[in-house]
Amino acid sequence: MKQVLSLLVRDQAGVLNRISGLFLRRGYNIEAITVGKSERVGLSRMTIVVEVEDNRAREQVKKQLHKQIDVIKVSDLTDRPMVARELALIRVSAAAQERSEINHLIEPFRARILDVGKASVTIEVTGGNDKIEALIELLRPYGIREIARTGLTALGREQLERSSEQEAAEASLV
């Protein structure tokens, strides 16, 4: 089972090492980790995707993270509505006559060509893992030279409060 965690942590040296070390000591493999500055000065946001065996292990991971001195907040997004994306840069072999064809191929994925070289193009695509994997498979026949992926980054969706009028309207439908 995959667990998606969003952490607000102190933005200082060694924090990433201490948090990844926690997963290492527990024997959990980090599938993806992204880190960047947050909306608050001095804090960074981490998104971690980790493979856990069950709900008990999932709770244990959260408890261990809460114990870390550098961790300000832990949010488990696994079962919550969230906005999640991954970025991939894909360098594909492309002769001049193939570039138009590649451009038409990537268009439905809302991907774009970022760089053009003598014998290749570099494509940027964002989205979920399935979307990125599908594009990679379509580009494979052209000859993929390099792929760089960020891993998942995510935020929980804002929970909209329902008004008493909305609740009454929904109750009348039942």
3-state secondary structure of 52: coil
| Domain residue limits at 45 | 2-79
**What is residue 173's predicted lDDT score, i.e. its pLDDT?**
47
Treating both helix axes as pointing N-terminal to C-terminal, what angle do 15-26 and 55-67 enclose, rounded to 10 degrees?
Answer: 150
- Residues 9, 72, single domain; the answer is yes
Q: What is the Cα–Cα distance from 113 to 115, expressed in whole angstroms?
A: 6
Question: What percentage of the chain has pLDDT greater than the value 70?
Answer: 91
- Summarised one tens digit per residue, pLDDT across range 25-34 is 888 889 999 9
**What is residue 57's predicted lDDT score, i.e. its pLDDT?**
85
- Residues 7, 74, single domain; the answer is yes
User: Given pLDDT bands bounded at 50, 70 and 90, which one contains residue 174?
Assistant: very low
Q: Token pair of 29, please?
A: 């493999």
- Residues 73, 91, single domain; the answer is no
- Residues 104, 40, single domain; the answer is no
- Residues 67, 94, single domain; the answer is no
**What is residue 36's predicted lDDT score, i.e. its pLDDT?**
93
Q: What is the Cα–Cα distance from 154 to 157, expressed in whole angstroms?
A: 9
Domain with residue 98: its CATH number is: 3.30.70.1150
**Domain total in the chain:** 2
**What is residue 160's predicted lDDT score, i.e. its pLDDT?**
65
Q: Last residue of a domain, which of 34, 51, 79?
A: 79
Q: Last residue of a domain, which of 36, 54, 79?
A: 79
- Residues 24, 93, single domain; the answer is no
Q: Is it the case that residue 11 has pLDDT exceeding 90?
A: yes
- Summarised one tens digit per residue, pLDDT across range 103-141 is 999 999 999 999 999 999 999 999 999 999 999 999 999
User: Given pLDDT bands bounded at 50, 70 and 90, which one contains residue 53?
Assistant: confident
Question: What percentage of the chain has pLDDT greater than the value 90?
Answer: 72
- Residues 92, 52, single domain; the answer is no
Contact 150, 31 (CB under 8 A): no
pTM for this one? 0.77
